[in-house]
Amino acid sequence: MLQDGRRLVVYDIAWGYDIGDQWAHVTTNISPGREGAAVDVFLTSEVASLIDPGTDQRIYTAS
């Protein structure tokens, strides 16, 4: 879940830093890709929490 309330479904990620960036940029569901899965791009600083889709349990919460 991102800080703006978007709840993303993520199967895989590609990430990296541009020169001088404090936070990594993340692209989801791009490689190998999954039919019907949305591709999203965000910074790691935007992550509010990670939720296990099988149990709906929060496994990470940003402080």
Contact 38, 51 (CB under 8 A): no
Dump pLDDT digits (tens) for 2-60: 999 999 999 999 999 999 999 999 999 998 889 999 999 999 999 999 999 999 999 99
Q: Give the per-residue pLDDT at 39.
A: 97
Which long-range contacts link 21-24 to residues 24+ away (Cβ below 8 Å)? none
pTM of the model: 0.86
What is the rounded (10 degree) CA torsion for 16, 9, 35, 14? 10
Residue 24 has a pLDDT of 98
Number of alpha carbons in the 13 Å side-chain half-sphere of residue 13: 14
Query: What was the pLDDT predicted at 35?
Result: 93
Give the pLDDT confidence score for residue 63 in this predicted structure: 84
